[in-house]
Structure 1
């Protein structure tokens, strides 16, 4: 009766083009629904994970969130299975649950590394500038060499910062370009505090080390070694001086 009202005179069969088009439409609908379901579950899992890392979260609440995360993982596994069934019907790429987990871990790790890179670039630039200023009056020759080293090290810094800025504008970027705080603050570290070192003291310490070794080896050989080391120290000082000549 309904077919009569709709003026349908012939029913579709699997060989009909209309039947095949409707089949593809239904398959695409199932695929899209399965994909949307995975996205929804993954986003929900990420939100639950972020709650666990919030300050002020007590032990009991963390334990409760941990159980909720496990429940979410079970649901995600089932959603992946449903998605794979729909994807195979369309000849599309299937997913593995471990791939989703590893991808999420990779995003978290990259967010950390991006912040580390930008922090190191800024800290190193600040450190080398401070070192150059520290020796500008006391040892202009050394300050000039530090300046040249700084120029070499910072040659590609603008390119790196530009690349990081482009990454931050990508859809789905969840990291930050805010500077971090380096935990490595020893002498010579990029986040350390420059300290003035007397070059004469450095050269003298090298000679003292050579004299100490002289007592434990052949006197003639060690004497030649100490003489050679002294000549090398003087040559190094001469090289630094020559670089400042006009």
Structure 2
């Protein structure tokens, strides 16, 4: 439609379609803008999913490096040294990515989340005892907390009911810097999904 005037074959038809309303430059420009906005809204929804996936991948990579280094620190020191070097490099890249995600989250109309997800095929216990990466709190303001409910604790009012009382339940909570939450809520209030 944009380059309709370039087609000579359309001029020699029974009805000159160049005179129809949809061929006029103003109408064509309005259609291009309409479909561009429509595509942009689809892209925003897609990016909301991809941001969570990216954060999940970065945290999983952090956990994998940590576990690999811990497993080889005594058995294979040269491999451990190389893994540490690569881990530092990956952490710098992850911090830069999180910095960009943080900037993105402050944009007007941002409707996503800065919380990581959990891969379906990944064992959630792999992260037990592993500290969260420094860039998660520093760049995004997200802090992973671990609360353990043990037998005999004074947390019975908030403790989930379980038949097996000697089982320790680990509940993961996410905390976010309050300034980021306020900014996010401001952005969400200005976002129009229609």
TM-score, normalized by the shorter chain, greater than 0.5 = no
- Highest Rg: 1 or 2? 1
Bigger share in strand: 2
Bigger share in helix: 1
Greater relative contact order (CA < 8 Å, ≥ 6 in sequence):
2
